[in-house]
Structure 1
């Protein structure tokens, strides 16, 4: 794979468990061979149904996910990759999804990010770049090449223009709600947030409900996309 422009700061020494989802077995084999030694591939899948099964069973740290993935009963206007996230993410709250696609179209990028992906890189990326992106996403960062990041900021920035600025939106949240919002947006489970902030899981749930209501969002995946677009992670 050719060099790409993804260069997040990462802790490459940490071991990351990954599931690779792509409908081309040759690509999966080449990608596995190119990944850093610090990345362990714990499962593979070739379509929506097998991806949901493998991801929920393996509960990996990161899913490397093709966007245009075949599958049954995928709603019109929804990519196979976005459908995998929609079906699998609720069962694996600690898992992050990183889209890896040949497409750099704005609608593909925005669609999978709205579904809950933590980043989007193209298949022109080198094995080293993919490895760095995997570590970055596993560590809680959002990863996009500059061009793709522009699509995300444009898409979610339009919504900001219709309502309020990012700072005005944050002003709606208490200091504690902002802390909870950032951890949830980074993929933390309720129990993990509770342990981090020394509060109960029930209190975390109450704060999350308040955050979603105040920001007029409907799910933690929308919250992740909202926070990522505003560079709040």
Structure 2
């Protein structure tokens, strides 16, 4: 039996996976990084499955803390984002699945994770060729910190909130934000939100 850790702030996703996946897969659930760390320290977890948006946390910020304790990491999300799919591939993770697709391929990936270098459905593969790809090239050239602050700003977080979360000053946040906006050629908060929606790093619920 394989142990799977789902990190997602929606308990309904956990309940759905428990009902639909094979009995050979034991599903553990964490709603945030702290809970996930407790589980990986107390259980032998084979595979972690992480949402991109976990409350106020981003799955790509959670994954590095979990990676040393698991064999494979997959993302399961609603984000149809070329940026995120590419990031998952480039950072050495193992697959990217969408919540609104059938679970067949994901279950196969859980059972035979080494059969492919990177698991994704045809729909996810098509995202890599989406119209937003050219615009996303500018985003790819930002530093990890600039990307992080740009995304949080587009989600509506203020300088002080971002600074508190990242343990940096509001002034430093402002400098990173200004540099990032200059590099992607946007001049206002409205343009920034439109850009973020276009390349798929945020979504409207």
- How many pairs were matched up? 132
* Aligned residue among 123, 126, 129 for 2:99: 123
Conserved in 1, the CA contact under 8 Å of 2:47 and 2:73? yes
Number of the residue aligned with 2:47: 62
Contact 2:88–2:94 (Cα < 8 Å) also in 1: no
Query: Match of 1:117, SS?
Result: coil
Q: Output the CA distance in 2 between the equivalents of 1:19 and 1:138.
A: 18
Structure 1 unaligned regions, length at least 5: 1-14, 75-79, 159-233
Distance 1:83 1:57, change over 3 A: farther
| SS state at 1:99 partner | strand
Deviation at 1:37, TM superposition (A): 1.8
Unaligned runs of 5+ in 2: 138-205
State the distance in 2 between where 1:18 and 1:96 align. Answer: 10
Do 1:100 and 1:120's aligned partners in 2 also have CA atoms closer than 8 Å? yes
Aligned 8 A contact 1:34 1:128 in 2: no
The equivalent residue for 2:125 is: 149
1:84 positional shift: 1.6
Q: TM-score, normalised by structure 2?
A: 0.55
Corresponding residue SS for 1:64: strand
Alignment counterpart, residue 62 of structure 2, candidates 70, 84, 89: 84
The alignment status of 1:109 with 2:94, answered yes or no, reads: no
Given the two structures, how large is their TM-score scaled by the length of structure 1? 0.49
TM-align CA RMSD: 2.7
Separation of aligned partners in 2, 1:40 and 1:140: 22
Structure 1 residues 152 and 51: alpha-carbon distance in aligned structure 2, compared to 1, 3 A threshold: farther
Question: Is the 8 Å Cα contact of residues 18 and 60 (structure 1) preserved in structure 2?
Answer: yes
Distance 1:152 1:48 in 2: 28
Q: Does 2:32 correspond to 1:47?
A: yes
**3-state secondary structure, aligned to 1:19:** strand
